[in-house]
Structure 1
Amino acid sequence: MNRVRSALAHLIAVVAVLLMPLALTSAWSSEVVNDEDRWVETVGPLATDPDVVNAVAVRLEDLAVATVDVGGAERALEDILGADLGGAGARTEQALREAVRQVVVRVVSSDVFPPAWEEAMRATHTQLLRALRSDSGAEVSVDLGPLLQAVLDSLSEQGLPVTVDASGLDAAFSVASSGELDQARAGYQVVDAAGLGLPVAVALLAAVALLVSARRMVTAGILLVGAALSAVVVWLGLGAARTLLLDRAPTADRNLLAAMYDVLVADLERLALLVVVAGPAVLVVLLLLRRLGGRRRREPAA
């Protein structure tokens, strides 16, 4: 009878272990990916991240330079930079880029940037969930239009002839292409369906396995070591996903995407690391307590 109980308990424990990677991922997805406020709270602080600020500034500078009529900008540039350009075309273009860079730096360093970034993140989150939950997804991007418009308004105020407004320009970073979203959709929908119910179910399976088992230390070992191995699988999967995402991204966008990815999965990585460390550690403590208990039982007989 004890053998049957132990075999059943070990089977339940193995099932719980096999479900653990999905349970960890679904808990994180429910708390971070599916919650708009938590998403914005997580990625909002990137407005002060140097890599993000620099990537946004480079994109805004390139777009803004393309909107200015170089031929009509020389006098305004001389006033802005306090230098005589002497009518040299190449020198004027260089001066234009310098003037635009000054404006861009001022915008991304101002109080305008954080709320604009958060608003862009809300829009990105809406796009992402719509694409992942539908049958076909469009590209998901970070819209920098409001920031670009702030730059163009500042350039106009300084007398530079801006030829278009931000609405006529593609001021967005691509986060994921439709092809990448098509590949990710099935996996996301499985994780989304599991939700917070799966982690609870895994915990219940583990409890049942321990209650049923006639050899609870062995069952506990299966659960704790299995949990650690499951966490390693999650950790390796996150690293592989990061590499795949950045390899497919344009070089100019990689720093921004890397910063976004790293901050979004940080909680899941910390959870995985905790499980990797805690699983074996708890098992060692249980074994030591068992040995200590065995010694105490033998002492009176001696």
Structure 2
Amino acid sequence: MAQQASGGLGRSILSGLCGLLAIVLLPVSLVAFWASVMLTRTDVFVDELRPVVSKPLVQEALTDGIVDGILGAVTLRPAIEKALEAPIRAEAEALVASPEVKDAWTEGIRAVHTQLIGVMEGRADTTLDAQGRVSVRLKIPVPALTSRLEQAGVRDAASIAPVVTIPLAKASDLQKAQQVYRVADAWGSWAPVLVAVLALLAIVLARRWRAATTLVAVGWIVLSLALALVIMISREPLLRPVGSDVARTIADAAYGLAARNLYYEIAIAVGVAVVMLLVSALSLAFRRRRLN
């Protein structure tokens, strides 16, 4: 009898430990799964950030970059250069809304995602700018300005294609994120499976499986909602250190994508927990009905 009681107590303790780990590790597993699987989806990243090119701050930065790129590529007398600046800016303002610039933006966003993943993975061949920053780089042809530049005495005006660079973050500033990513990448895809196995063990080993199921489900719901709240309130503090307004606009769109993917995972976790609660409640109701 004592041995059976000891064995039952050991099972209860092990069940409680597995249940506690299943609850505590759920938000960690959701973030790890996102970092290892969802973060690397370049096409989704590009689709989300493609409309950002229409934001006023981004268009203004592209316009300034085109003007500076053209004037930096030519050698003219100061008076001529000053006279050209206004028409070049007017043409650049029209150009940034063109399909060509939108296509260049799409390629730039695709490349910056590759840079970001390269930095996270610590790859030595990651392409950064001269200051070691992850940047959006756009090469923008300006054929509409060719004749005007030729009239001003610019040779090979047709070959001028300014490269506009929008710095986002220094690779050195992403070291903490890099360490987290490496851990998540190593086991993140299996993290939800581990949590599910721990929850199953907690239920199987419990003396009262319905109570164990209910506790795990309630714990999952509470911590899932807590994770959603953290994601909501962390947006502003995380984006505040981002340098320029343009970079912050891009980072905000990227954060929105990350948050939405995490919200999907949270919704799935809550849905599974609700199903567990329903199964437990229906099983208890059926048992009481059968006993009566």
TM-score range, shorter chain: 0.7 to 0.9
2:250 to 250, 256, 274: 256
Is 1:98 aligned with 2:104? Answer: no
State the superposition RMSD in angstroms.
3.2
- The verdict on how the C-alpha distance between 1:287 and 1:195 changes in structure 2, with shifts beyond 3 A counting, is closer
1:130-154 Cα deviation digits (max 9, x unpaired):
222229994222212x2xx22x333
Partner residue in 2 for 1:72: 80
Specify the SS of the correspondent of 1:6: helix
Specify the SS of the correspondent of 1:183: helix
Q: Which amino acid in the other structure matches residue 39 of structure 1?
A: T
Is 1:154 aligned with 2:156? Answer: no
Partner residue in 2 for 1:81: none
Q: What is the deviation of 1:14? A: 0.7
Q: What is the deviation of 1:218? A: 1.9
Partner residue in 2 for 1:238: 231
Q: Which runs of 5+ in 2 are unaligned?
A: 127-131
- The verdict on how the C-alpha distance between 1:13 and 1:233 changes in structure 2, with shifts beyond 3 A counting, is same
Partner residue in 2 for 1:82: none
1:22 to 3, 17, 28: 28
1:202 to 175, 188, 195: 195
Q: Which amino acid in the other structure matches residue 262 of structure 1?
A: G
TM-score, with length taken from structure 1: 0.74
- The verdict on how the C-alpha distance between 1:245 and 1:165 changes in structure 2, with shifts beyond 3 A counting, is farther
Give the Cα–Cα distance (whole angstroms) in 1 for the partners of residues 265 and 198 of structure 2.
20
TM-score, with length taken from structure 2: 0.77
Partner residue in 2 for 1:229: 222
Q: What is the deviation of 1:21? A: 1.6
Partner residue in 1 for 2:120: 132
1:100/1:155 contact within 8 Å kept: no
Give the Cα–Cα distance (whole angstroms) in 2 for the partners of residues 142 and 245 of structure 1.
20
Is 1:11 aligned with 2:17? Answer: yes
1:265 to 254, 259, 264: 259
1:3/1:214 contact within 8 Å kept: no
Q: Which runs of 5+ in 1 are unaligned?
A: 75-88
Specify the SS of the correspondent of 1:248: coil
1:265-289 Cα deviation digits (max 9, x unpaired):
311122214434653x335524542
Q: Which amino acid in the other structure matches residue 100 of structure 1?
A: A
2:58 to 47, 56, 59: 56
Give the Cα–Cα distance (whole angstroms) in 2 for the partners of residues 275 and 124 of structure 1.
31
Partner residue in 1 for 2:137: 143
